[in-house]
Amino acid sequence: MLLLAILLFSCKSETSKDMTHPYTNDLIHETSPYLLQHAHNPVNWNAWNDKTLAKATDENKLLLISVGYASCHWCHVMEHESFEDTLVAQVMNENFVNVKVDREERPDVDQIYMNAVQLMTGSGGWPLNVVALPDGRPVWGGTYFKKEQWMDILKQLTKLYKEDPNKLHEYADKLSQGIKSLDVVSLNTDEPVFERAFIENALTNWEKNFDHAFGGMKQTQKFMMPNNYHFLMRHAYQNNDKELQDFVNLTLTKMTYGGVFDQIGGGFSRYSVDEKWHVPHFEKMLYDNGLLVSLYADAYLITKNELYKNVINETLEFIKNEMTANNGAFYSSLDADSNNAEGTLEEGAFYVWTQEELKALLANDFDLFADYYNVNDFGHWEHNNYVLIRNESDAAIAEKHNITEAELATKKEQWKTKLLATRNKRPKPRLDDKTLTSWNALMLKGYVDAYRVLGNKTYLEAAEKNANFIVNSQLREDGGLNHNYKDGKSTINGYLEDYAATIDAFLALYENTLDKKWLTTARDLANYTFDHFYDDTSKMFFFTSNSDASLVSRSIEYRDNVIPASNSIMAKNLFKLSHYFDNEHFSKTAMTMLNNVKPEMSEYPSGYSNWFDLMLNYTNPFYEVAVVGADAKQKIDELNTHYLPNKLLVGSTTENNLPLLANRYNPQDTFIYVCVNKACKLPVTKVEDALDLM
């Protein structure tokens, strides 16, 4: 079939120039930085909306849907090579209704067409390019293409649509059925049984892929996957598995040592293109940094490793300086590309160093710096550039150079100050300054976790400011959330990920402030999801609301990725809310959701790590810790200095009618109640006594 013949694999080319053309298309009216980057292409781009889809139907033209995001390096390359080319634009404009989609604004659209491309080609990525019938059903797709490939494909598809459109319609029918079957979850009618042996067996399969040299998985490219290590760390701790604990600590240390962590300015890039976490794909995403702060916070709580503490502080300093708006909202990302000395967009130009630069800046300290950050063959990247990477501890370096660790720490601060000042004179990577509710909630949770562990009140203040932004700007009067915020406008009806992440963050905020409004708002948002996202058939939640326009299919996102699946976060939320409000419906739903995905979990455990984390709540005792009295906040702060993943906290300094607090207030003293399976031990007044009961 001709369709199969034109499914070409992607390839790469040299980086593009940042050029502006004297054209304007409909994207000029959008607010998304990614869409605005294409607003001056000669391609007649349209945004994804009902008007655009109606246009394709009226003109009987194929839809050409191109999906990307602002910090995507290869999206920029394809733009320069193809979408800025007038000959390419002529072919696209004459034969297609061209649609540009920001995958971060419209994850629902991205998910549908990513599923289609993965079905057609076996892989996916961005830029994501799909050709669809006027009704939106895809017939062809791929990722990055060189100009000549792109032109040839479009001409063949145009010819086929004119001469034999039935062939495309037949293919679209089959592919649509395949898309609909991808994210179908069947109700598991077997009795829910969650046992440690099930987790252990899955872990045995998972461990075969562990990289015991550099941490992470045995892969040539490495993503941080913070939720994987959060689960593995918790499982190791609760089962006293030293070997697994050592592996997690190796991974966290190597990630911190690597170039994937910005050694000068703080914050993590998206992933490394090598096995040693050295050379990153340089874009920095808000969600990565939020999730990683939470991970390192718990890791520090367990180990008291100063390296982890420094990572938290340096990452949040980066977020404060580069990705936080005046109203407390967080921006989405920083681009991988920036202008080099020649004024050409180049990946990583902002972050890399030459030996000559470093020698001039550091003078007599260069040799020590070069040993510490491997300005040698180990740290060399390309074109005489070095990406700073560590492979030894501070103690080892200090001993080797016959200085104290305190002296080394002082020098490190001096180096960072000097290099940061120099780096900030370079052209900065472009900022995607839109605000996404789900990603903001992940970063908000990161701030709460950092406060919980480190006690830094400025972190709690940042968390509360962002939470108030979400409530005041993204929460609508009807109780629903909007997904996007830009230029003072809240837009796009929220997706399940927005509700799940926000509920999770608000529950964490409640546990650290005892402000009941965060708890009740979390419950109200959960009730809203039942009204607008719940699937009565599978007892899972759809990704899109029932008030949204229908796409090719209405998917259920349940496989964990870099960001945990919205359904797995939601199930954990309902588990907790069921305890807070003694809500049997929430409890049964959480258990059913976990039981539904259980049959798949052991086959590919790394894709279900957040579900496994929930399963630990059932396989181990789960404690409700209620603290009531004038000193409740202080005692909860003290409890939070201990790693207790199998508990929830509830508290009040006054009378309170929450099920776990009712009739427990005593004005004479502050009592701690430790309960499990709706049975409570005798109250105690000392935190150490409460810990003995858990």
Full DSSP string of 341-376: TTS-EEETTTT-B-HHHHHHHHGGGHHHHHHHTT-S
Average pLDDT over residues 56-78: 93
Percent helix, strand and coil across the chain, each to the nearest 5? 50, 15, 35
pLDDT band at 123; cut points 50, 70, 90: confident
344 in a structural domain: no
Rounded to whole angstroms, how far apart are CA atoms 676 and 622?
Answer: 6
Q: Are strands 45-47 and 96-102 parallel, antiparallel or unpaired?
A: parallel
Average pLDDT over residues 254-273: 97
Do residues 396 and 318 share a domain? no
Do residues 614 and 638 share a domain? no
Q: Which residues contact 402 (CB under 8 A, 6 or more apart)?
A: none
Collapsed DSSP state (helix, strand, coil) of residue 158: helix
Do residues 571 and 638 share a domain? no
Do residues 274 and 294 share a domain? yes
Q: Which residues contact 173 (CB under 8 A, 6 or more apart)?
A: 137
Classify residue 620 by its DSSP letter: S
* Tens-digit pLDDT profile for residues 295-353: 999 999 999 999 999 999 999 999 999 999 999 999 999 999 999 989 998 999 999 99
Looking at residue 547, its pLDDT comes to 93
Question: Which CATH number does the domain housing residue 279 bear?
Answer: 1.50.10.10
595 in a structural domain: yes
Which of 604, 619, 634 lies at the terminal end of a domain, its last residue?
Answer: 619
Do residues 239 and 258 share a domain? yes
Average pLDDT over residues 56-61: 95
Rounded to whole angstroms, how far apart are CA atoms 191 and 592?
Answer: 9
Which of 559, 594, 619 lies at the terminal end of a domain, its last residue?
Answer: 619
315 in a structural domain: yes
| Neighbour count for residue 16 (Cβ, 10 Å) | 19
Alpha carbon 315 to its chain centroid, in Å, reads: 15
188 in a structural domain: no
Do residues 678 and 587 share a domain? no
What stretches of 533-608 show up as alpha helix (H) in DSSP? 566-581, 584-601
Residue in the structure block whose two tokens are 């895809």: 138
Do residues 174 and 86 share a domain? yes
Do residues 304 and 451 share a domain? yes
Do residues 405 and 438 share a domain? no
Do residues 311 and 203 share a domain? yes
Domains contained in the chain, number: 4
Domain range for 109: 2-182
Answer for the pair 594, 571: CB distance below 8 angstroms, yes or no.
yes
457 in a structural domain: yes
Looking at residue 419, its pLDDT comes to 98
Collapsed DSSP state (helix, strand, coil) of residue 300: helix
Q: Which of 42, 8, 46, 56 is nearest to 154 (CA)?
A: 8
Question: Which CATH number does the domain housing residue 6 bear?
Answer: 3.40.30.10
342 in a structural domain: no
Q: Are strands 271-272 and 647-652 parallel, antiparallel or unpaired?
A: unpaired
191 in a structural domain: no
* Tens-digit pLDDT profile for residues 71-122: 888 899 999 999 999 999 999 999 999 999 999 999 999 999 999 999 988 8
pLDDT band at 23; cut points 50, 70, 90: confident
Which of 598, 619, 640 lies at the terminal end of a domain, its last residue?
Answer: 619
| Neighbour count for residue 219 (Cβ, 10 Å) | 13
190 in a structural domain: no
Rounded to whole angstroms, how far apart are CA atoms 268 and 290?
Answer: 10
Q: Which range (165-174, 491-500, 564-573, 589-598) has the least confidence?
A: 165-174
Q: Which of 349, 222, 336 is nearest to 273 (CA)?
A: 222
AA identity, residue 688: E
Do residues 482 and 385 share a domain? no
Looking at residue 550, its pLDDT comes to 81
Looking at residue 71, its pLDDT comes to 87
Do residues 225 and 116 share a domain? no
